[in-house]
Amino acid sequence: MGASSPLRPPAPPDTCGLPERFLLTADHYTNPRWLPVEQRAIFHRAWLYVGDGDRLQPGMVWARSVAGAPLLIVRDSAGELRAFYNLCPHRAAILSPQAGIHPCQKLVCPYHAWVYDLSGDLLGVPAQHQFPESFQKQDFGLRSLRLETWSGFMFVCFDDSAPPLAEFLGSIPQHLGQHRTAASQPLVAKQYTVACNWKNYHDNTLCDYHVAIAHRTTLNQVQGPVRYYQHQLEPFVNLLYTPLTSAWRDENTILPLLQGLSRDGFFTYGIYPNLHLLGLPNGLLAWLHIEPLTAESCQVALEIYGDPEYCPPASDLLADFEAFMQEDMLLTESVQRGYASGTYTPGPINGLETRIIHQQQLIWQALAAAGEAE
Ligand code: FES
Ligand SMILES: [Fe+2]
């Protein structure tokens, strides 16, 4: 799709020969047995959003868990971002046990004091002469994993065979690559615990069928009439594009450098496996990131970035997002109780639910590739 060409109208769901009903069963949303399967088959094979690279100055380390793995996200003294497993190659001690962002010159293992620099190289080993002669420090640097950025936002990937991040993100860089400017700042960061499976919340955020009904006075006011909805399905992401409403244009200022579709509409991207990105022509970018906690609970993280000169005050933004997110939390928790009732079998798919089936197909294919589709 060119920057000024129209998007395609909603396509009927491509079910790849599978039944034209939702692919995931109530069991996928309620049975704890899926959590380790999903970590291995889905999360450890995709690009995963970890946050804004600007949070890390040179010489800072961010210790955090991603998809069940303890990681260190590092900006070394040369300014390069890197990701390592937060464990010592000697006997697997966690190198930096305190979660969060810390200044750090060297990483010293608390067990036997092996010392690493922020490039992951092993610098020092106590009692080195008592290791076998074959021992070489260069063989025991920290184990790294892929880290790439888009617009300053960091993603990691455990899978060396996954496509590069730019390919994974599809048309996102083309459409939203100019939204973040030098004046953009983090405006909102807040986390919510929701009593539903992570896929249930992801389905809801991909659902373009409920917005005019459940969010009639909130999100629907920004997205506008359903008849103008346009969808695009890509290998790992999908898009709902809605032209700006006149009310939105009256109340907001558009970033001068935006052109074409980027200037004229509201982009709502669903990104496999658990991420959403919303972009508006005032430069606002909002991430919704859904992490599994248990089979029937998840953590939803909202992060909003923008130039304060063009975007509404942070308190207004948070109020606007929370208005529709609260509506969604009630619905997803209700659906979760429905799944847990033991009486649900998957229903049919409306054309406005195409983005849900697109992501469910990716999940289904990942489970099938791991020998776990049922
Ligand atoms: S486990 Fe880290 S130095 Fe031994
Ligand atoms: Fe919703």
Q: Where does the pLDDT of residue 173 fall: very low under 50, low under 70, confident under 90, or very high at 90 and above? A: very high
Q: Where does the pLDDT of residue 98 fall: very low under 50, low under 70, confident under 90, or very high at 90 and above? A: confident
Query: Is the model's pLDDT at 14 over the cut of 60?
Result: no
* Per-residue confidence (pLDDT) for residue 124, from 0 to 100: 97
Q: Which of 19-23, 77-81, 301-305, 315-319 is the least confident region?
A: 19-23
Query: Is the model's pLDDT at 5 over the cut of 70?
Result: no
From the list 71, 86, 258, 94, the residue with the least C-alpha distance to 181 is: 258
Query: Is the model's pLDDT at 200 over the cut of 50?
Result: yes
CB of 111 closer than 6 A to ligand 1? Answer: yes
Quick one: 102 and 208 in the same domain?
A: no
Q: From the CA of 91, give the closest atom in ligand 1.
A: 1
CA of 227 relative to ligand 2 center, distance in Å: 18
Length of the chain: 374
* Per-residue confidence (pLDDT) for residue 153, from 0 to 100: 98
Beta strand ranges found along the chain (DSSP E): 47-52, 60-66, 69-75, 81-85, 100-103, 106-108, 115-117, 122-124, 144-150, 153-157, 185-194, 230-233, 237-243, 265-271, 275-279, 285-294, 297-306
- Closest ligand to Cα 202: 2
Quick one: 36 and 63 in the same domain?
A: no
Phi, psi of 272 (to 5 degrees): -60, 140
Q: Where is pLDDT greater, at 1 or 132?
A: 132
Mean pLDDT of 325-335: 97
Edge-first strand listing for the sheet containing 106-108: 106-108, 115-117, 122-124
Instruction: Indicate the pTM of the whole model.
Output: 0.93
Is there a domain that residue 8 lies in? no
Q: Give the domain CATH number at 266.
A: 3.90.380.10
Query: Is the model's pLDDT at 243 over the cut of 90?
Result: yes
CA of 121 relative to ligand 1 center, distance in Å: 14
* Per-residue confidence (pLDDT) for residue 70, from 0 to 100: 97
Is there a domain that residue 141 lies in? yes
Quick one: 212 and 349 in the same domain?
A: yes
CA of 74 relative to ligand 1 center, distance in Å: 20
Contact criterion met (CB below 8 Å) for 63 and 39: no
Contact criterion met (CB below 8 Å) for 301 and 180: no
Which pair of tokens denotes residue 272? 């496999």
Contact criterion met (CB below 8 Å) for 52 and 155: no
* Per-residue confidence (pLDDT) for residue 9, from 0 to 100: 46
CB of 114 closer than 6 A to ligand 1? Answer: yes
**Which residue has the least CA distance to atom 1 on ligand 1?**
91
CA of 109 relative to ligand 1 center, distance in Å: 6
The distance of Cα 114 from the centroid of its chain, to the nearest Å, equals 34
pLDDT over 90, % of the chain? 87
Query: Is the model's pLDDT at 19 over the cut of 60?
Result: no
Mean pLDDT of 90-118: 95
Q: From the CA of 88, give the closest atom in ligand 1.
A: 2
**Which residue has the least CA distance to atom 4 on ligand 1?**
112
- Closest ligand to Cα 276: 2
Cα 142 to Cα 61, 95, 111, 300, 346: the distances in Å are 14, 10, 15, 31, 45
**Angle CA 79–85–89, to nearest 5:** 110
Cβ atoms within 10 Å, residue 64: 16
Quick one: 200 and 71 in the same domain?
A: no
CA of 40 relative to ligand 1 center, distance in Å: 26
CB of 112 closer than 6 A to ligand 1? Answer: yes
Which pair of tokens denotes residue 114? 């092996």
Mean pLDDT of 346-370: 92
* Per-residue confidence (pLDDT) for residue 7, from 0 to 100: 58
CB of 109 closer than 6 A to ligand 1? Answer: yes
Quick one: 337 and 191 in the same domain?
A: yes
Q: From the CA of 114, give the closest atom in ligand 1.
A: 3
Q: Give the domain CATH number at 66.
A: 2.102.10.10
CA of 320 relative to ligand 2 center, distance in Å: 13
How far is residue 183's CA from residue 63's CA, in Å, rounded to a whole number?
Answer: 27
Query: Is the model's pLDDT at 158 over the cut of 60?
Result: yes
Quick one: 206 and 93 in the same domain?
A: no
How far is residue 175's CA from residue 279's CA, in Å, rounded to a whole number?
Answer: 9
Phi, psi of 189 (to 5 degrees): -145, 115
Mutate to test the pocket of ligand 1, among 85, 88, 137 (most ligand atoms within 8 A of CB): 88
Query: Is the model's pLDDT at 193 over the cut of 60?
Result: yes
Mean pLDDT of the chain: 93
Is there a domain that residue 154 lies in? no
Q: Where does the pLDDT of residue 219 fall: very low under 50, low under 70, confident under 90, or very high at 90 and above? A: confident
Mean pLDDT of 293-314: 97
Mean pLDDT of 206-234: 91
Q: Cβ neighbours of residue 167 under 8 Å, at least 6 residues apart?
A: none
Quick one: 249 and 361 in the same domain?
A: yes
Quick one: 235 and 90 in the same domain?
A: no
Cα 342 to Cα 35, 45, 222, 257, 349: the distances in Å are 19, 31, 37, 53, 20
Domain count, the chain: 2
- Closest ligand to Cα 122: 1
Cβ atoms within 10 Å, residue 31: 15
Of 103, 129, 149, the position where a domain reaches its end is: 149
Quick one: 140 and 191 in the same domain?
A: no
Contact criterion met (CB below 8 Å) for 347 and 11: no
* Terminal Cα distance for the chain, rounded: 36
CB of 88 closer than 6 A to ligand 1? Answer: yes
Q: From the CA of 125, give the closest atom in ligand 1.
A: 3
Q: Which domain, by its residues, includes 358? A: 26-44+177-369
Q: Where does the pLDDT of residue 15 fall: very low under 50, low under 70, confident under 90, or very high at 90 and above? A: very low
* Per-residue confidence (pLDDT) for residue 262, from 0 to 100: 97
User: Looking at this protein, which amino acid is placed at residue 126?
Assistant: P
Quick one: 286 and 183 in the same domain?
A: yes
In the DSSP assignment, the letter for residue 235 is: S
Q: From the CA of 92, give the closest atom in ligand 1.
A: 1
The distance of Cα 138 from the centroid of its chain, to the nearest Å, equals 34
CA of 189 relative to ligand 1 center, distance in Å: 36
In 110-240, where does DSSP find H-type helix? 165-168, 172-176, 198-206, 211-214, 219-223
* Per-residue confidence (pLDDT) for residue 374, from 0 to 100: 65
Query: Is the model's pLDDT at 294 over the cut of 70?
Result: yes
CA of 151 relative to ligand 2 center, distance in Å: 26
* Per-residue confidence (pLDDT) for residue 351, from 0 to 100: 87
Quick one: 109 and 182 in the same domain?
A: no
